[in-house]
Copies of this chain bind each other. A is one copy, B any other.
């Protein structure tokens, strides 16, 4: 996984245990022991997920959750609350705050990982780095291998991300700006036409040995990734 998980927990041993478990399961993590540290870390690049302790010194975790969920830029970050006990009231409040799930302490590492994966799967499946296949084109986010009919493709980082995005978002037109947002990232000052060039490079790489055209140009709209184009005879 390319991003990271923010762990907000004031009890050091628990926090370190959590991060340990996360690291061992292939997640990157950043620690925060209080609200301030947490907020300091909720900046770009935003975490993919936040593990948030219910009881935090200097303010409850729920408040933080609420404020995050009400902010335009952070509301899409999934939050899992860590509650000290199975308090039904707390759970309800937590859910009201818009958190995605909660885990009651003590919890087993297995359970924690399971919950995390469940939430991520629900929110942005592509983060879990599963292999993607589409019409003989294979992309493995883990090994960074891309093959077409068992021929390896050589792609630069940006082309790789672009292809990854397309393969997980097929049969749909994306404008150049949408592609810039999704592949380059938000808040980048790049010319629209730059997309064209990378589309070109990706096409070249894919159909270098004379393969199908996966990327279609939709005039005036953008580009679409799809298997085969039916030619329409006007």
Interface residues of A (CB under 8 A from B): 11-14, 16-17, 20-21, 23-25, 28, 34-36, 39, 58-59, 63-64, 66-67, 70-74, 106, 108-110, 142-145, 147, 150-154, 156-157, 171-173, 177-178, 181, 186, 204-205, 208-209, 218-221, 224, 226, 229-234
In whole angstroms, how far apart are the Cα atoms of A36 and B12 in the complex?
A: 9
Q: Are B152 and A229 in contact (CB under 8 A)?
A: yes
Q: Which residues of B contact A14 (CB under 8 A)?
A: 59
Q: Which residues of B contact A34 (CB under 8 A)?
A: 13
Q: Are A20 and B67 in contact (CB under 8 A)?
A: yes
Q: How distant is A46 from chain B, measured CB to nearest CB, in Å?
A: 12
A234 and B204 in contact, given A13-B59, A181-B23 (Cβ under 8 angstroms) = yes
Q: How distant is A34 from chain B, measured CB to nearest CB, in Å?
A: 8
Which has the most chain B C-beta neighbours within 10 Å: A20, A66, A108, A147? A20
User: Within the oligomer, what is the number of copies of this chain?
Assistant: 2
Q: How distant is A164 from chain B, measured CB to nearest CB, in Å?
A: 12
Q: Are B209 and A233 in contact (CB under 8 A)?
A: yes
A-B pairs, 6 with minimum CB distance: A157-B220, A13-B58, A13-B59, A208-B234, A152-B230, A67-B109
Q: Are B157 and A171 in contact (CB under 8 A)?
A: no
Residue of B151, B173, B229 near A142 (CB, 8 A) is B173
Q: Are A63 and B17 in contact (CB under 8 A)?
A: yes
Q: Which residues of B contact A11 (CB under 8 A)?
A: 58
Q: How distant is A125 from chain B, measured CB to nearest CB, in Å?
A: 20
Q: How distant is A149 from chain B, measured CB to nearest CB, in Å?
A: 11
Q: How distant is A175 from chain B, measured CB to nearest CB, in Å?
A: 9
Q: How distant is A104 from chain B, measured CB to nearest CB, in Å?
A: 15
In whole angstroms, how far apart are the Cα atoms of A25 and B173 in the complex?
A: 15
Q: Are B58 and A12 in contact (CB under 8 A)?
A: yes
A153 and B16 in contact, given A70-B109, A72-B24, A224-B144 (Cβ under 8 angstroms) = no
